Amino acid sequence: MSGSAYADLSMFGHDPWWLVVVKAVSIFAFLVLTTLIAILAERKILAWMQMRVGPNRVGPGGILQTLADGIKLALKEGIVPAGVDKPIYLLAPIIATVPAFMAFAVIPFGPVVSILGHRTPLQLTDLPVAVLYVLAVTSVGVYGIVLAGWSSGSTYPLLGGIRSTAQVISYEVAMALSFAAVFLDAGTMSTSGIVAAQEGTWYIFLLLPSFLIYVTSMVGETNRAPFDLPEAEGELVGGFHTEYSSLRFAMFMLAEYVNMVTVSALAATLFLGGWHAPWPLNMWDGANSGWWPLLWFTIKVWGFLFVFIWLRGTLPRLRYDQFMNLGWKVLIPISLAWVMIVATVRALRIEGYDGRVIALFALGVVIALAVLALLWPRLRGARQQLAPGASLVEPFDAMAGGFPVPPLPGQVPPVSSTTKEGSDA
């Protein structure tokens, strides 16, 4: 059955104004509460992974630690350094935060339910191009990071903003290509239609390479470890938000965690069946009706949030060249090849050929294994084999460009005559 048959948007746009307000406020509360819990959960889980105690002083078991941190940030003095471009400096946190909340407008939380006698879907609204709306809105949010780095009038925030620009260009292409495979198979770009198209089989099984590429890209898009190069404290002090304090810094932190929830919800929507119950719970007749789907959706979102935390506590930060190579030389070429395969299968299906599930599942497993085979040497830091007789050390001249630069991996600066005489002595 074609996925386009599921794209019925007639149920949207008929809610009374008070119900729209209730939905909007509920989404805002869900994102803020999830952020508060996620910050505490991250600190607790990382402490557990690293055999530490973690927050345990404020409230029973430390459950009020995030609230205490928020109050502490609010009470701090908001310093505006001299030399900043003040209008843009003050606007950047708002640009970063508002789109993070706006993206959730088209995320489906559940099926049609009854709220005070009104039949309405558990979704604020939907569009024929809802997923493209999410991409567009989240892309606007990145301008907040770029403008924050540029307007601060400082070197390290500027470098963080430049890195953020390169990061978005590199990984949003791969992310969009992973969406293209979903659009081709579902026959629609509306989020409710994509969820309905997965009623039988989730796309994590049919489109496994797209799922792996999306998960990698969503970590890069949210500036999370090991892709947190725009705010790498090791070399950029604090990155793009170095010159921010008090509530303005808190807004950047809020935007980061809300974006984590947004990309996790989008991953659950596109690849894990959205609000549909997992097996074997889907064998229960009432699992996908009423308010139960809201629970399944929340559990899926928190599963992805745990992956974010797990990666932060496990993997070291990538070098910048490794980061760019992964995006341009691995993710994008594989995404293009996979989209061509999905498009071919879709065309054969339109022509009357069957076997879509078997073909996509088999090809997905093959390409997923190829992705892992390409990523494994890079994550392990394996070097390419040198030709016989080739030198391991590349020639390096620090002043070749007219100003001193540090050596790249595999390059060793030449030993000066002064240093050599001192060692001989």
pLDDT at 401: 66
**Cβ neighbours of residue 117 closer than 8 Å, sequence gap 6 or more:** none
Q: Looking at the domain assignment, is residue 58 inside a domain? A: no
Q: Looking at the domain assignment, is residue 37 inside a domain? A: no
CA distance 155 to 138: 26
Report phi then psi at 417, rounded to 5.
-65, -35
CA distance 141 to 172: 13
CA distance 349 to 206: 14
Provide the CB-side half-sphere exposure for 18 (13 A, CA): 3
* pLDDT tens digit sequence for 41-77: 999 999 999 889 888 888 888 889 888 988 888 888 8
Quickly tell me which residue has 């892709």 as its tokens: 227
Q: Looking at the domain assignment, is residue 83 inside a domain? A: yes
**134-152 burial by CB neighbour count: b if 16+ within 10 A, else e?**
bbebbeebbbbbbbbbbbb
Provide the CB-side half-sphere exposure for 100 (13 A, CA): 28
| Helix and strand element counts for the chain (H, E) | 15, 2
- C-alpha angle 215-221-223 in degrees, rounded to nearest 5: 110
> Do residues 190 and 200 make contact, with C-beta atoms less than 8 angstroms apart?
no
* pLDDT tens digit sequence for 76-127: 888 888 888 889 998 999 998 898 899 899 999 988 888 888 888 888 888 8
Quickly tell me which residue has 């509306």 as its tokens: 190
> Do residues 195 and 130 make contact, with C-beta atoms less than 8 angstroms apart?
no
Question: Which contacts qualify for 360-364: CB closer than 8 Å, 24 or more apart?
Answer: 360/185, 360/206, 360/207, 361/205, 361/206, 361/208, 364/205, 364/206, 364/207, 364/208, 364/209
At 54, list the tokens: 């973690």
At 116, list the tokens: 């005070």
CA distance 41 to 34: 10
> 285 in helix, strand or coil?
coil
- Look up the domain containing 326 and give its range: 79-106+125-277+294-380
* pLDDT tens digit sequence for 178-198: 999 999 888 888 998 899 888
Amino acid in position 237: V
Q: Looking at the domain assignment, is residue 423 inside a domain? A: no
Q: Which of 139, 296, 20 is nearest to 28 (CA)?
A: 20
| Predicted TM-score (pTM) of this structure | 0.81
* Overall residue count recorded for the chain in this entry: 425
Per-residue pLDDT of the chain (425 residues; tens, 9 = 90+): 344 444 567 778 788 888 999 999 999 999 999 999 999 999 999 999 988 988 888 888 888 988 898 888 888 888 888 888 889 998 999 998 898 899 899 999 988 888 888 888 888 888 888 988 988 888 888 888 888 888 888 888 888 888 888 887 788 888 889 999 999 888 888 998 899 888 878 999 888 889 999 999 988 888 887 888 877 777 777 788 888 888 888 898 898 899 999 999 999 999 998 899 888 787 777 788 888 899 999 999 999 999 999 998 888 888 878 888 888 888 888 888 888 888 887 877 777 666 666 666 667 767 777 777 777 766 665 444 444 544 555 566 767 766 677 777 667 766 665 555 555 55
Q: Looking at the domain assignment, is residue 219 inside a domain? A: yes
Q: How many domains does the chain have?
A: 1
Q: Looking at the domain assignment, is residue 62 inside a domain? A: no
Q: Looking at the domain assignment, is residue 213 inside a domain? A: yes
pLDDT at 393: 53
Instruction: Return left, alpha or beta for 116; rule: phi > 0 is left, psi -120 to 50 is alpha, else beta.
Output: left
> Do residues 330 and 220 make contact, with C-beta atoms less than 8 angstroms apart?
no
pLDDT at 3: 41
Quickly tell me which residue has 């990523």 as its tokens: 375
Q: Looking at the domain assignment, is residue 308 inside a domain? A: yes
